[in-house]
Amino acid sequence: MLLNLLIDESVDFRLTSFLPNQLCQWTVIVTESPGMTDLEVLNLAHSTKSILLTEDSDFGEWVFVHKAETSGIIFLRYRPEEIKRIGNTLRQVLHEKQDSLYKKYVVLTPDKIRIRTL
């Protein structure tokens, strides 16, 4: 089964080159529906059973404080010069965790992976 990802506008588009085509399919907000609010993005991800890939920390507040429904979130934290390292970490997590990423809040840095069940 392919992993469904919804890529938020905040994500550097270069990171799509690190996504394993054989494991996932994705939709990019900036090309499909630019300008959506955070809540609209969360609702779209949930309705399409997609894991949201984002660099926007506000989604954590939506999920943990406001209890917004989600299929899962992968939050990327890195400095611009670490793009290759975060891309490799993302690829590794997608390969190793695959379907177990659904209903999780994942924080990725180039050196650390934190996973919290939603």
The backbone torsions φ and ψ at residue 55, rounded to the nearest 5 degrees and listed phi first, read -115, 10
| 63-102 pLDDT per residue, tens | 999 999 999 999 999 999 999 999 999 999 999 999 899 9
Cα gap 38→52, rounded to integer Å: 11
E strands, the chain, where?
3-7, 24-28, 51-54, 73-76, 104-108, 113-117
User: Across the strands, what pairs with 24?
Assistant: 3
Cα gap 102→98, rounded to integer Å: 8
What structural domains and CATH numbers belong to the chain?
Answer: 3-117 (3.40.50)
Q: Please, what's the b/e burial string for 30-56 (b: 16 or more CB within 10 A of its CB; e: otherwise)?
A: eeeeeebebeebbebbbeeebbbbbbb
| 10-51 pLDDT per residue, tens | 999 999 999 988 889 999 998 878 889 999 999 999 999 999
